[in-house]
Amino acid sequence: MKRILLLGSLLMLAACGNEQTLHPPEGASLPPKPATAPTPPTPADLLKQPPSERPMRSDELLTKSQPRAEDPFDLPPK
């Protein structure tokens, strides 16, 4: 009995990783083609992040150390 449960749970766990191609839900369509694009975007194109959403890391160190200007609104607490 335990073997059947173990085998069944392993099969269900293996089915969780099943990958399928993406497609729009029934009755819906992909977004319209952008005006400047030569072809409509595919689902894979729509999932790619533009560089503005994941910018490159900047390792530039502070090269110019300058004192801060006086701030007239930086008042001590009362």
User: pTM, whole model, 2 decimals?
Assistant: 0.35
**Highest averaged pLDDT of the listed ranges 3-7, 9-13, 47-51:** 3-7
21-35 average pLDDT score: 81
What pLDDT score was predicted for residue 62? 67
Nearest to 33 by CA among 24, 22, 42: 42
Report the share of the chain in percent with pLDDT over 90: 0
Q: Are 43 and 51 in contact (CB under 8 A)?
A: no
Say yes or no to pLDDT of 4 above 70. yes
* Greater pLDDT, 23 or 36: 36
Identify residue 43 by its one-letter amino acid code: P
